[in-house]
Amino acid sequence: MFSVLTRLLAVGGLGMVVTALEARCGSVSLDGYGGRVGAFPHLAGAFAVLGAAGVGLPATAGFVADDLLLHAAWEESIVATAALILASVLLAIATLRGYTRVFLGAPVRSVAPDLLLRERVVVVGIITALLVLGMAPQVIIGGLPLP
């Protein structure tokens, strides 16, 4: 349950950030992006934090979720554990590749706004939830026995 909640928050937040970026740039192809960190610093920061939570870096709820999944997989099968580790590595590579292709590179000017107020409120709420659940997972899983 905790893993599902974490993934929904991270993927939902990333989906919102990507949709906002597509609306501002008018393209869904990664070929037209690059250097957007100067034009959209809040979108870049939100993508980085949500990507870190999705990948499972420490201090995020994704780390706790990955830890719980790996412990459960280890009890069942070493093959399942290896598959989860491989999936985590591939997800990290894909997330980092997406961030570098969209936000890093030669600076690009844009007249489109960064995050709007309503988008910022939602993104900050999601990021806060992911960080709180990462640093204090007992808020959700306090009564559940850990493997």
pLDDT of residue 48: 92
- Mean pLDDT, to the nearest integer, of 111-130? 88
- Over 80: is that where the pLDDT of 3 sits? no
Four-residue CA torsion sign, 119, 121, 124, 129: negative
pLDDT of residue 124: 92
* pTM for the whole structure: 0.80
In DSSP notation, 19-87 reads HHHHHHHT---GGG---TTTT-HHHHHHHHHHHHHHHT-TTSHHHHHHHHHHHHHHHH-HHHHHHHHHH
Residue showing tokens 């201090």: 59
pLDDT of residue 102: 84
Q: What SS3 class is residue 46? A: helix
Which amino acid makes up residue 66? D
| Domain residue spans of the chain | 2-137
pLDDT of residue 121: 92
- Over 70: is that where the pLDDT of 146 sits? no
pLDDT digits (tens, 9 = 90+) for 68-120: 889 989 999 999 999 999 999 999 999 999 889 888 888 877 778 888 899 89
pLDDT digits (tens, 9 = 90+) for 6-55: 888 888 888 888 888 888 877 766 666 778 888 889 989 999 999 998 88
pLDDT of residue 30: 65
Query: Are 8 and 115 spatial neighbours (Cβ–Cβ below 8 Å)?
Result: no
pLDDT of residue 31: 65
Residue 147's pLDDT band (boundaries 50, 70, 90)?
low
DSSP symbol at 20: H
